[in-house]
Amino acid sequence: MNPLRALNDESGQILAQVIKVGIIVLVLAFLIIEVGPIIWGRITIINDAEDVAMGVAFEYKMTESQSGAIEAAAQKMRLMGYSDEEIRESTVEFLPVESQTKETVRVTVVKYANTLITRHVSYLKRFARMAKTAEASVASATSTKGK
């Protein structure tokens, strides 16, 4: 008996529909698995950037050391689960640049969505890159350790 013949007669209509629905479910599941981390990353990076900016501002307020505040930001990002590459690409600026006394901290956090496609197709890696900039005032910085 030919297996394709079972799909052509009346008894094969149910099997054909089950196969079609199965393929659609697999495609949708694959899309959710691949696009989900990108969407979730774009949501979480907003809070992460604000937390890191507040942490840097607080550290700078307490120590008055830019290098110490930058190291504290890197440590905070490591604890948040950021990779070394993401930490290297992230930036910290103390504003105003010309002044000895810094009033504001601007932090740009970079995050990559870790998906199967973006990991193996280098051209698509740029779509997985997310960046968010946040600013925090040094004068109004408070501890974020309890958060």
- The residue count of the chain comes to 147
Strand ranges inside the chain, DSSP E: 91-95, 104-112, 129-137
Structure pTM? 0.78
What phi and psi, each to the nearest 5 degrees, are found at residue 112? Answer: -115, 135
Domain coordinates of the chain in residue numbers? 5-137
How many whole angstroms separate alpha carbon 104 and alpha carbon 57? 7
Q: Which is more confident, 114 or 23? A: 23
**Secondary structure class of 65 (helix, strand, coil):** coil
Which pLDDT belongs to residue 145?
Answer: 55
Let me know: does 139 contact 54? Beta carbons within 8 Å: no
pLDDT tens by residue, 75-133: 999 999 999 999 999 999 999 988 888 999 999 999 999 888 888 888 888 889 999 99
The pLDDT value given to residue 1: 52
Q: What angle do CA 94, 147, 85 make, to 5 degrees?
A: 55
Whether 143 has a pLDDT exceeding 90, the answer reads no
Cα separation of 73 and 106, whole Å? Answer: 12
